[in-house]
Amino acid sequence: MTGTVLTTRRVDAYHALTVVAPGIAERFRPGHFVGVAVGGPNTSMLTRRAFSVHDVKPDYGGTVEFVLSPRGPGTAWLAERRARDTLDLVGPLGRPFPLPRDPVTCVLVGAEYGSATLFTVADALQRRGCRVDFVLGAASADRVFGALRARRMGETTTLTTEDGSLGLRGRVTDVLPAVIADVRADAVYACGPMPVLRGVTAVAVELGIPVQVAVEERMACGIGVCMTCVLPVIGEDGVTRMVRSCVEGPVFRGERVRFDDVGTIPFDALGAPGGGTRHVG
C-alpha cells in the first residue's frame, strides 16, 4: 500500500518517519514490523527494508511511525524523505509480542534504536495493569533511543552507555541482573542487535524468568517467501529448525533461539547436511 509521509524528524543519531497508513495502523499489534520499499519506482534497490513500528496513532485515519539509522543507500534515501512524499509499505508483518494475562512486572530492554519497538509494548502492558521498567543502552548518549519517554512511562529507567556519556558505563546486560532483582521482574522483553539479545536471554535464563526477544535478521521480502532471514530455533518438540524470522518471528522466546549458532546450520537441525533426520530415498 502507498502511504504519505506526515512528518520526518531527527531523533539524536536516528530518523523517525511518520506515515499515514490506516490499513497498517488498524491491524497493528506491538512487535509487528513494516516492509518499506526504498529508492522510488524505478530504483535498482530491489529488497524492502524492514522496520519495527515505534508508534501508532489514530490521526488521519491511522499513522505508523518507524525509526531508522541511515547506514546504506536505502536507509539514506528514506532519511531524505519529506512530508507529503509517498512511501510504498507492506504491513503489519510478523508475529507480535505475546502479552501476559495477569498484571505482572516486566523489564523492557532495548539497545540502540531497538528500543523504538518497546514503547507500544509498554503501553499494551500498562493497559493490562503491568508494571513496566526500562533498561536502555547504546554505545554513546546520542544513540540511546527514547530515554525521555522511558522515564515518563516506566516505574524505573536504567540507562547505560559504553562510553559513559549517559547513565551507567557499560552495557544493558551488565545492569540487567540487578534491575530484575530490584523490581522483582516476572518477565523480560528485549529488542536490539543479536549479541545484546543473546546476553539478555542468558541473564533471564540464569534468573529463571521468561524472556521474549524481537530479533534483527536481514530480510529480503518480510513476507516469508524468500527464505533468507532464517535462524536456528528450537521448536516445541525439541527439534531445531531453520525458521524465518519474518513470519515465524520476529518475536521468539529467548531460550528457544540458538544465538551461538546464528549464521550456521547446527548439525542437529532438521535437514542439516548429514544430519540424523535425513530420510532414506
Contacts to another protein by CB under 8 A:
37, 44-48, 74, 88, 90, 217-218, 220-221, 223-231, 241-242, 247, 262-265, 269-273, 275, 277-279, 281
C-alpha closest to that of 84 among 19, 178, 31, 157? 19
Q: Closest separation between CB of residue 258 and another protein, Å?
A: 12
Q: Which spans in 110-265 are helix H? A: 118-127, 147-153, 172-183, 194-207
Cβ contact 115:146 at 8 Å: yes
Give the nearer residue to another protein in terms of CB position, either 7 or 69. Answer: 69
Q: Is 154 helix (H, G, I), strand (E, B) or coil?
A: coil
Q: Closest separation between CB of residue 22 and another protein, Å?
A: 18
Cβ contact 53:33 at 8 Å: yes
What grid cell was written down for 270?
Answer: 532438521
State yes or no: 245 annotated in a binding site.
no
State yes or no: 191 annotated in a binding site.
no
Give the nearer residue to another protein in terms of CB position, either 205 or 242. Answer: 242
State yes or no: 50 annotated in a binding site.
yes
State yes or no: 95 annotated in a binding site.
no
State yes or no: 184 annotated in a binding site.
no
For residue 59, give the DSSP letter: G
Q: Closest separation between CB of residue 68 and another protein, Å?
A: 16
C-alpha closest to that of 15 among 106, 107, 81, 105? 81
Residue 11, CA atoms < 13 Å, CB-side half-sphere? 24
Peptide bond connecting 273 to the previous residue in cis, omega within 30 degrees of 0: no
State yes or no: 130 annotated in a binding site.
no
Q: Closest separation between CB of residue 191 and another protein, Å?
A: 19
CA 208 to chain centre: 22
Cβ contact 98:128 at 8 Å: no
Q: Closest separation between CB of residue 217 and another protein, Å?
A: 7
Give the nearer residue to another protein in terms of CB position, either 143 or 244. Answer: 244
C-alpha closest to that of 203 among 239, 231, 175, 240? 175
Give the nearer residue to another protein in terms of CB position, either 58 or 271. Answer: 271
State yes or no: 229 annotated in a binding site.
yes
Give the nearer residue to another protein in terms of CB position, either 7 or 43. Answer: 43
What grid cell was written down for 281?
Answer: 530415498
Q: Closest separation between CB of residue 243 and another protein, Å?
A: 10
Give the nearer residue to another protein in terms of CB position, either 162 or 217. Answer: 217
Q: Binding site residues, as ranges?
A: 49-52, 74-75, 221, 226, 229, 246
Q: Binding site residues for [2Fe-2S] cluster, as ranges?
A: 221, 226, 229, 246
Q: Binding site residues for FAD, as ranges?
A: 49-52, 74-75
